[in-house]
Structure 1
Amino acid sequence: MRFDVFCSLAQTPRPGVGLPPHAELLNEFLDQAALADDLGYGCLWVAESHFSTRVQQGHASPAVPHWTGEIGLNTDVLQLAARVFARTRRIDVGSAIMNVVACGGPLPAAERVAAALAWHGLDKTESRRLNIGFAGGRFDFIARATGVAPRTEWEEAAWPQVRSAVTAEAAEIFVRLLSGEELGSDQVTAPRLMPDAFRDRDAYDRIAAQAGAGDDGIPLERRWTFDTTGLVPGFRPELLRLVGGTHDPALQIRLNQFAPVRVFNLSITRPEVIEDTHRRMAGAYHPAGGPWRRDYMPRTVFVFLDATPGLSRERRRAAARERAEATLAAYWQAMDGTVDPAKVAGSADNALVGAPEDVAAQIVERFHPDDRLMLWFDFFAPDADTVTDGLADFRQQVVPLLAERGVA
């Protein structure tokens, strides 16, 4: 089993402190990156966000009306990666995820990645990779702020479906440019909404009638039109890994027609969906990437670990559970303003919670020995020490227990 670290790099209130300054959080993050490197974690994945959470709360329909602080401070994983690589020796850096729809779209995104890799690879002994997880972004206000918005009344009515098609268009352009193709927009798969993109046939028929389309799908005007272009050559492709942040089976297969593209997934995803994805990718994964492996699909998981010296296992377990439920309750409150006790308890059950012995047992029970876990320690953490203690305690106390069971 392989262990990575996931960082949300969010600004959230701390008990007795309030909102910590951005500079303080960025410095803490760099310290955590250095520690994760020293402890032997494989990759440091960092969330990406754009534009102020606070400012969008003034919109007519804000995406996150109750969040205090900023959802994310990382707007550019490439600048962040350069700082991390300068402070570390072994650890890879990943984006989770890079938005290839907003902020200019897939063409400038691909060019920025190529440029970062060219600088990163100047040292011929450098082997640490950029793992570029990419998708269309979680919050619609970011896309709309950068010009990706409905163009017609029927696109507004079917915006979730249209936005998925836009994401697929962007993802294909991004992957094909980074794989070295010279590409024009007329060579990109034409976007089209099919009936199975809608919750039922009646919903499709209503939109198709507005768009003047029939049973063979609703054609969409391309979002990006461009003459044949290509990236300036010069980066070492072995330093790049592409990871698609999509649960769409058709898009996973489509992207792997052009280059090896791995897949993100969540630990709360149903086991049958996880296994279906592995079976599908075993047949679809681009041959240039070699045979498909389970660790090619990293999976996020919250970690609430208590290894306080001098406490019994029962007291550690209770303390970890209390922190998990309080933290997850704060998260759901910030996200939607309502706290569903069943939702909180369910989220805690999907996390890794307890003393080191508990967490090791939960990993053995829930995950395959060949999985890759993105361990999330900084989620609504009350202070920096909670994160660094979690990083160290997991490697020093949980991993040896897993090794005894032949898992790590």
Structure 2
Amino acid sequence: MRFDIFCSLAQTPRPGGGLPGHASLLQEFLDQATVADDLGYGCLWVAESHFSTRTQRGNAEPAVPHWTGEIGLNTDTLQLATRVFARTRRIDVGSAIMNIVACGGPLPAAERVAAALAWHGLDPAESRRLRVGFAGGRFDFINRATGIVPRTGWEAQAWRQVRGAITAEAAEIFVRLLSGEELASTDVTPPGLTPQMFPDRETYDRTALAAGATGDRIPLPPRWTFERTRVLPDFRPDLLRLVGGTHDPALQIHLNGYAPVQLFNLSITAPAAIEATHQRMATAFHPAGGPWQRHYMPRTVFVFLDATPGRTVEERRNGARERAEATLAAYWRAMDGTVDPAKVAGSADNSLVGAPADIAAQIADRFHPQDRVMLWFDFFATDGDAVITAMTDFRNQVVPLLHDLGIPVDIAPADIAPAGAGRAGLAIAATR
């Protein structure tokens, strides 16, 4: 089993109701990245967003009208990765996810990745990977701000399906360019809508009629029209891992027709869907990537761990549960303005909650021994030190218990102080 760190880099209220400044949150993140590297975690995945959700709340279609602060401060994972790589020695960096539709689309996105990797790989001894999770973006206002809007009335009516087709078009361009192809838009699979993309045949037929299309495909004009091109500069392909943020089986298979594309998943995905994806990818994964491995689909999970010294196991369990429920209630209030007890309870049940032994038992029960798990500690965190303490406690107290349960953990030796010591107590080794 592999363990990574997931960081949202969100601005949320701290105890007392104040919002931390952007600079302080960025500095806290860099401290957390350094500690994650020292602790031996495999990859630091960072959520990526664009433009102010706080300002967008005042517009006609607010994405998160009840969120206080900013939903994400990382607008450029490539610049962030440069900062992290300069301060660390072994940890990978991943985008979770990079929006390849907005901000110019897939062509400039691919060239930015190529440039970042070219600089990163100048040292022949460099082995840390850039894991590029990519998709079409979570919030449509980001795409709208950069010109990705319906072009016709019928596109507006079927915008959910059109957005999916746009994402597929962008993903193919992105993957093929980063695979070293010389590519023109005429080489790209023509975008279009099919009945399978709609909730029922009747809805598809109405859309096709409005679009003036017949049969089982509604053609779409390409979003990106370009003559033959190739991204520069050349880079070391061993330093890149492509990770598609899509649940669409057809797109997963399609992209793997061009290059090895791993998958990004969420903890809330049903177990049956996860297993079906692994079975599908066992035959669909591009042969250049070798056999499909379970850790090629990392999964996020909230972690509410209480290892406070001096507390009993029961006190730790209760403390972790109370913090989980309070945090998740704040999240749901921020996302939709209401607190549904069923949502809070369900989210807590999908999280890792409790004392170290509870967390180890929950991991053993819910995850496959070969999974890659992205541990989410900074979710509505009280401060940066609390995140560092949780990362340290997990590495120092939960991981050994997993070994005791017979679950091998692929994690580098850690330069760590006693559990719960936090950033100030870490004994950073001068050499490895």
Mapped to 1, the partners of 2:232 and 2:30 lie a distance apart of 31
Mapped to 1, the partners of 2:273 and 2:215 lie a distance apart of 29
**Secondary structure of the corresponding residue to residue 394 of structure 1:** helix
CA shift, 1:319, in A, is 0.4
Q: Please list, as runs of the form range in 1=range in 2, the aligned pairs for 1:79-90 lying within 5 A after superposition.
A: 79-90=79-90
Q: Please list, as runs of the form range in 1=range in 2, the aligned pairs for 1:6-405 lying within 5 A after superposition.
A: 6-16=6-16, 18-405=18-405
CA shift, 1:222, in A, is 0.4
Q: Which runs of 5+ in 1 are unaligned?
A: none
CA shift, 1:104, in A, is 0.2
Deviations for 1:341-364, whole angstroms, at most 9, x for unmatched residues? 001100000000000000000000
Moved over 3 A (4+): none
Which piece of structure 1 moves more, 163-172 or 380-389?
Answer: 380-389
Q: Which amino acid aligns with 2:170?
A: A
CA shift, 1:218, in A, is 0.7
**Secondary structure of the corresponding residue to residue 128 of structure 1:** coil
**Secondary structure of the corresponding residue to residue 370 of structure 1:** coil
Mapped to 1, the partners of 2:130 and 2:227 lie a distance apart of 28
Mapped to 2, the partners of 1:109 and 1:233 lie a distance apart of 13
Q: CA RMSD in A?
A: 0.7
**Secondary structure of the corresponding residue to residue 134 of structure 1:** strand
Mapped to 1, the partners of 2:350 and 2:383 lie a distance apart of 23
**Secondary structure of the corresponding residue to residue 85 of structure 1:** helix
Mapped to 1, the partners of 2:403 and 2:24 lie a distance apart of 36
Which piece of structure 1 moves more, 58-67 or 355-364?
Answer: 58-67
Deviations for 1:27-63, whole angstroms, at most 9, x for unmatched residues? 0000000000000000000000000011111111111
**Secondary structure of the corresponding residue to residue 323 of structure 2:** helix
Deviations for 1:94-135, whole angstroms, at most 9, x for unmatched residues? 000000000000000000000000000011110000000000
Q: Which amino acid aligns with 1:321?
A: R
**Secondary structure of the corresponding residue to residue 5 of structure 2:** strand
- Contact residue 9 and residue 74 of structure 2 kept, 8 A: yes
Mapped to 2, the partners of 1:152 and 1:25 lie a distance apart of 42
Mapped to 1, the partners of 2:285 and 2:208 lie a distance apart of 34
Mapped to 2, the partners of 1:44 and 1:233 lie a distance apart of 25
Deviations for 1:348-388, whole angstroms, at most 9, x for unmatched residues? 00000000000000000000000000000000011112101
Mapped to 1, the partners of 2:161 and 2:285 lie a distance apart of 26
- Please give the TM-score of this superposition, normalised by the length of structure 1: 0.99
Q: Which amino acid aligns with 2:97?
A: I
Mapped to 2, the partners of 1:398 and 1:79 lie a distance apart of 32
CA shift, 1:266, in A, is 1.2
Identity of aligned residues (%): 77
CA shift, 1:232, in A, is 2.0
**Secondary structure of the corresponding residue to residue 317 of structure 1:** helix
Q: Which amino acid aligns with 2:13?
A: P
Mapped to 1, the partners of 2:188 and 2:215 lie a distance apart of 22
